[in-house]
Amino acid sequence: MIVNDLVKHQNPWLSLGRETGIVVSSRVRLARNLKDRAFPGWAGEKECDRLCKEVADACGKVGRLSGAVVLDMAGLDELERELLKERRLISSEFADRRGGSALILSADERIAIMVNEEDHLRLQAIAPGLCLEETWREIDAVDSEIDRHLNYAYSPTLGYLTACPTNVGTGLRASVMVHLAGLRLTGDFDRVMKGLTRLNLAVRGLFGEGSEAFGGMVQVSNQSTLGESEQAILARLLGIVQDLIVHERNARARLMEKSRIVALDQVSRALAILKHAMLISSMEAVELLSILRLGADLKLVDGISEAGINELLLVTQPGHLQMRLGRKLDSKERDRMRAEFVAGRLRHVEIAEQRG
């Protein structure tokens, strides 16, 4: 099974990019719909199936998508859906779809197109580190090529038409996942989060809409899609993310200058629990791995890189854990297998600097 193969290779957002100590990944998605066709929420299943086929055909003609797979959502079991969601290739809403929906996924997982989510097409490009500009160019190129083969619903005054008015216009949502573990330790996290919501930005946790900012992992994205050009939206978001990076860098520097022992204590505790706990929930795994990731950036930890920790953040999630073991596990079993797996992976990881 193709989805099963995903577990064996690394997701692109798990490699390293620019500002990788603080920025985990950048993502740009576009909402597009076909002209004179009912939105997925109103269309019948047959109509949806036909549309899936049309979109798949169009994508087949796009050079960047050669080698892409088309996954019919009706053919996926629960675990496979969970896996795709955890890899941030589909939305929670899409994970519940059955017939009439499909995922088109590039071989390198950087491009994912959900067909018949809320809109006919949701095109996403995702890449590690801070690279809004590159991911934008990548998805824009794919979008332009698809546009040649399909007839998009577009109004000269409103821009791209979408099922939900919040996406009308550019249909663009750009988001950056930042890791604000330093601000959490200095106690400035909540203040910074409040500031972000005042700037009309959406702020979410590691696992998308509705998820909490466990471990200081925060997705920051634009709220409005109308009345600004794509470039203006991206430039504004980039500016804010760069501010966040400065705040977080300062917090980490302050920690190392004024409370080095506090940082060392937190990192050492997180590592000790990750290596010795017998049960670890997925939320706690995120919290502890987040602190370990901060430790790696601050050179307090030997034997694992930020990318290695990013991978652990992914593969300790319920779907990945179960896919690796090849069977469904109940919550208690998962917690036990997660603890065992993490302890094994971190066996040779040590605190770089012992107490002095």
Tell me the number of residues near a second copy by CB under 8 A.
21
Which lies closer to a second copy via its Cβ, residue 203 or residue 346?
A: 346
Q: Which residues pair with 72 in a beta bridge?
A: 102
DSSP state of 218: E
Residue of the chain from 68, 83, 339, 342 that contacts a second copy (CB under 8 A): 339
Residue of the chain from 95, 102, 277, 342 that contacts a second copy (CB under 8 A): 277
- Please tell me whether residue 352 binds a second copy under the rule CB under 8 A: no
Q: How far apart are CA 186 and CA 248, in angstroms?
A: 10
- Please tell me whether residue 193 binds a second copy under the rule CB under 8 A: no
Which lies closer to a second copy via its Cβ, residue 188 or residue 353?
A: 353
Beta-carbon-side half-sphere exposure of residue 70 (alpha carbons within 13 Å):
16
* Residue given tokens 């290739």 in the structure block: 89
Which lies closer to a second copy via its Cβ, residue 237 or residue 289?
A: 289
- Please tell me whether residue 273 binds a second copy under the rule CB under 8 A: yes
CA-nearest of 275, 28, 37, 23 to 137 is 28
- Please tell me whether residue 309 binds a second copy under the rule CB under 8 A: no
Beta strand 102-105 with 69-72: parallel, antiparallel or unpaired? antiparallel
Phi, psi of 211 (to 5 degrees): -85, 150
Q: What SS3 state is found at 25?
A: strand
* Residue given tokens 């589909």 in the structure block: 90
Which lies closer to a second copy via its Cβ, residue 120 or residue 293?
A: 293
CA-nearest of 59, 50, 54 to 143 is 59
- Please tell me whether residue 325 binds a second copy under the rule CB under 8 A: no
Span interacting with a second copy, options 65-73, 174-182, 229-237, 276-284, rule CB under 8 A: 276-284
Which lies closer to a second copy via its Cβ, residue 243 or residue 340?
A: 340
The two three-digit tokens of residue 207, written as one number: 């696992």
CB of 213 to a second copy, least distance (A): 24
Which lies closer to a second copy via its Cβ, residue 74 or residue 279?
A: 279
Q: How far apart are CA 205 and CA 91, in angstroms?
A: 14
Q: Where are the beta strands (DSSP E) in 180-260?
A: 201-204, 217-222
CB of 272 to a second copy, least distance (A): 4
CB of 278 to a second copy, least distance (A): 4
Q: What SS3 state is found at 24?
A: strand
Which lies closer to a second copy via its Cβ, residue 220 or residue 267?
A: 267
Considering only residues 231 to 270 of the shown chain, the ones binding a second copy according to CB under 8 A are 261-262, 264-265, 268-269
Beta strand 217-222 with 201-204: parallel, antiparallel or unpaired? antiparallel
Which lies closer to a second copy via its Cβ, residue 226 or residue 351?
A: 351
Which residues make up the interface to a second copy (CB under 8 A)? 261-262, 264-265, 268-269, 271-273, 275-279, 332, 336, 339-340, 343, 351, 355
